[in-house]
Amino acid sequence: MVSQTQLPPEIQLAQRLAGNEQVTRDRAVRKLRKYIVARTQRATGSFTHDELLKVWKGLFYCMWMQDKPLLQEELGRTISQLVHAFQTTETQHLFLQTFWQTMNREWAGIDRLRLDKFYMLMRMVLNESLKAVRTRGWEEKQVEQLLELLITEILHPSSQAPNGVKSHFIEIFLEELTKVGAKELTADQNLRFIEPFCKIAACTKDSLVLHNIARGIFETIVEQAPFAIEDLMNEMDAQNGEDEASDGDGESLEGSIRRTDLEKGKGTGDDEDSAGPVLQFDYEAVANRLFEVASRQSTPSQNRKRLYKVIQKLQDLAGGTFPEDDIPEKTYRHLLEGRRELKMRRRSLKSRSKNKRRTGAGEGEEEASSPDLGSGTERKRSRKRVSPSVARAESGGQSGVHKRRKKRPSLKSRK
Q: Which of 163, 169, 160, 75 is nearest to 130 (CA)?
A: 169
Q: Please enumerate in sequence order all residues whose Cβ is within 8 A of that of 214, keeping only pairs 6 or more positions apart, or say none.
A: 201, 306, 307, 310
Query: What pLDDT sits at residue 104?
Result: 97
Integer Cα distance of 300 and 157 in angstroms: 14
Out of 98-107, 229-238, 374-383, least confident range:
374-383
Q: Which of 202, 232, 235, 234 is nearest to 217 (CA)?
A: 202
Query: What pLDDT sits at residue 261?
Result: 43
The residue with greater pLDDT, 336 or 303, is: 303
User: What does DSSP assign to residue 368?
Assistant: H
Share of the chain above pLDDT 90, in %: 58
Amino acid in the structure at residue 18: A
The residue with greater pLDDT, 261 or 113, is: 113
Query: What pLDDT sits at residue 349?
Result: 64
pTM (whole model) above 0.85? no
* pLDDT value at 364 more than 80: no
Q: Which of 291, 335, 332 is nearest to 309 (CA)?
A: 291
Q: Please enumerate in sequence order all residues whose Cβ is within 8 A of that of 337, keeping only pairs 6 or more positions apart, or say none.
A: none
User: Residue 163: which pLDDT band, with cuts at 50, 70 and 90?
Assistant: very high
What average pLDDT does the segment 14-41 reach?
94
User: What does DSSP assign to residue 216?
Assistant: I
Integer Cα distance of 217 and 170 in angstroms: 7
Query: What pLDDT sits at residue 46?
Result: 84
Integer Cα distance of 177 and 191 in angstroms: 12
What digits encode the pLDDT tens for the residues 42-88? 877 789 999 999 999 999 999 999 999 999 999 999 999 999 999 99
φ and ψ at residue 396, rounded to 5 degrees: 70, 40
For the chain, state the CA radius of gyration. 37
What average pLDDT does the segment 32-38 reach?
95
